Amino acid sequence: MTAETDERLEPAQLRTLFLFESLDDEKLGYVHEHGRVKRLPADADIFVEGDPARCFYVLLDGTVSLTRLVHGDRIEISRSSQRGAYGGATQSYLNEQRVENYLHSMRAVTDVTLFVLPAEVISTAMRRWFPMAMHLLDGLFLGMRTTENLVNQRERLLALGSLSAGLTHELNNPAAAAVRATAVLRDRVSGMRHKLAMIADGRLDGERLHRLVEFQEAAVKQAANAPTRSPLETSDAEDTLADWLDEHDITGGWDLAPILTAGGIDGTWLDRVADTVSQDDLEPAIRWLAYTVETELLMGEIDDALHRITGLVGAAKQYSQLDRAPYQTADVHDLLDATLAMFSAKIGPDVRVVREYDRSLPAIPVYAGELNQVWTNLIDNALYAIGETGVLTVRTGQEEERVVVEIVDTGPGIPADVRSRIFEPFFTTKPIGEGTGLGLEISYRIVVNKHHGDLAVESEPGRTVFRVCLPISGR
């Protein structure tokens, strides 16, 4: 099939190609001597990305398509039927010693005729003929590669940075709460030991002590089911209880009332205690019960804090998809919730998050970790647009064979002249240093190329909707 011919191009013909038009006769002679004409049928691979870059190709006739693999998809970068268009070992001269690999693939769209030069011929010629240009190009390419690496790295770091900053903040609150509660708990437990010793100091008979222990059990239950009260109701209940304590000559009622109230204990409850113990023993008994209630509440707090920590770690795991298969069946709501959890520290007090989920949606096969990137980028943009005050709506639904996710914000909207450019790489309206302009470009690639879905935007002042459609049947 490959038809490398012995056919050469005459210097005069070579001069009609813009690449060679200004070469003098000697140089043209060199190109003439080393180059050959090659003909390939439609659909043939001319060169394949990743293979050793051995040849440099110039298009003489026909149409070629240049593609690159992005996340496993073949993306067409350009298509050309321009005579003189070139490709292949375009950077071979940079590295005399080492054969570079092709950075792209080139395919014949129609039958094509090409002019082919071996990479080492180009390399030798360039170094001999244009030594200074070589040095400049070396520097240029080095700079470009460094920049590209930096951008890639920075992007990953940014995602990781904002994720871990948010997460650290979120984890810190419950962790600090648990530490604080544990310290108080330790103190209260030791207080309880002392009080018990006082009560049991021979002044209570076995039966009364037994009744008291029953009260303690009841207090524990009471604390677990304490009614939720408004601040006003709470302070009323505390006042009433403080009065009761005063009437019964218990000192420090202001100190005990809030604790007992939080545990759901009121005057009627304490009346029963007063009936059981003598007036002398009443205060130690009530203090002892207060310790019981307080330790119970503290343990509840610790439990809550640990649950929040476990929940966050779960969300982080779900978000990062660290221990999951890259391609799996997932419920988009789990992914959206995990992503929103990652943002919770970044969402201001005056920004409301509304979830309008259609829970009847089927789980769909997706690249879950990458979809989380998409939600992250869209939610990040929405929150930026909303600023201090507004509403972020995350809506899901189904349309025919597709799951639809909408991220809606109440920000200022996207001006018409900006809208046509937002999916371009590096396009950003954010101040220098704040945005990379890659968020939407990456999202588009993930949704459209990787999931064969669709990413569209609709915007007017006060309402911007980014709409992601994903096929239910997967790839």
Q: Which residues bind Mg ion (CB under 5 A)?
A: 381, 439
Between residues 29 and 461, which has the closer beta carbon with respect to ligand ATP? 461
- Rounded to 10 deg, the angle between the 119-129 and 25-34 helix axes is 170
| Contact between residue 20 and residue 121 where contact means Cβ atoms under 8 Å apart | no
| Contact between residue 368 and residue 348 where contact means Cβ atoms under 8 Å apart | no
- The CB-of-384 to Mg ion minimum distance in angstroms stands at 7
Between residues 270 and 414, which has the closer beta carbon with respect to Mg ion? 414
| Binding partner of 411, given ligand ATP, Mg ion, none, CB within 5-8 angstroms per partner class | ligand ATP
| Binding partner of 191, given ligand ATP, Mg ion, none, CB within 5-8 angstroms per partner class | none
Between residues 356 and 424, which has the closer beta carbon with respect to ligand ATP? 424
- The CB-of-407 to ligand ATP minimum distance in angstroms stands at 8
- The CB-of-172 to ligand ATP minimum distance in angstroms stands at 25
Q: Are strands 55-61 and 86-88 parallel, antiparallel or unpaired?
A: antiparallel
| Contact between residue 266 and residue 194 where contact means Cβ atoms under 8 Å apart | no
- The CB-of-153 to ligand ATP minimum distance in angstroms stands at 14
- 99's tokens: 């054969």
**SS3 call for 169:** helix
- Rounded to 10 deg, the angle between the 279-320 and 253-262 helix axes is 50
| Binding partner of 118, given ligand ATP, Mg ion, none, CB within 5-8 angstroms per partner class | none
Between residues 159 and 260, which has the closer beta carbon with respect to Mg ion? 159
Between residues 146 and 420, which has the closer beta carbon with respect to ligand ATP? 420
| Binding partner of 437, given Mg ion, ligand ATP, none, CB within 5-8 angstroms per partner class | ligand ATP
Between residues 274 and 347, which has the closer beta carbon with respect to ligand ATP? 347
CA-to-CA distance for 216 and 209, rounded, in angstroms? Answer: 10
CA angle 144, 149, 154 (to 5 degrees): 125
- The CB-of-387 to ligand ATP minimum distance in angstroms stands at 10
- The CB-of-89 to ligand ATP minimum distance in angstroms stands at 33
- Alpha-carbon distances of 73 from 117, 426, 432, 448, 475, rounded to whole Å: 29, 21, 32, 10, 11
| Binding partner of 418, given Mg ion, ligand ATP, none, CB within 5-8 angstroms per partner class | ligand ATP
CA-to-CA distance for 403 and 361, rounded, in angstroms? Answer: 7
- The CB-of-77 to ligand ATP minimum distance in angstroms stands at 19
- The CB-of-351 to ligand ATP minimum distance in angstroms stands at 13
CA-to-CA distance for 255 and 264, rounded, in angstroms? Answer: 16
Burial category of 78 from C-beta neighbours within 10 Å (exposed 0-12, middle 13-18, buried 19 and up): exposed
Between residues 319 and 444, which has the closer beta carbon with respect to ligand ATP? 444
Between residues 169 and 430, which has the closer beta carbon with respect to ligand ATP? 430
Return residues touching ligand ATP (CB under 6 A): 377, 381-382, 385, 409, 411, 414, 418, 422, 427-430, 435-441, 464
| Binding partner of 48, given ligand ATP, Mg ion, none, CB within 5-8 angstroms per partner class | none
| Contact between residue 222 and residue 263 where contact means Cβ atoms under 8 Å apart | yes
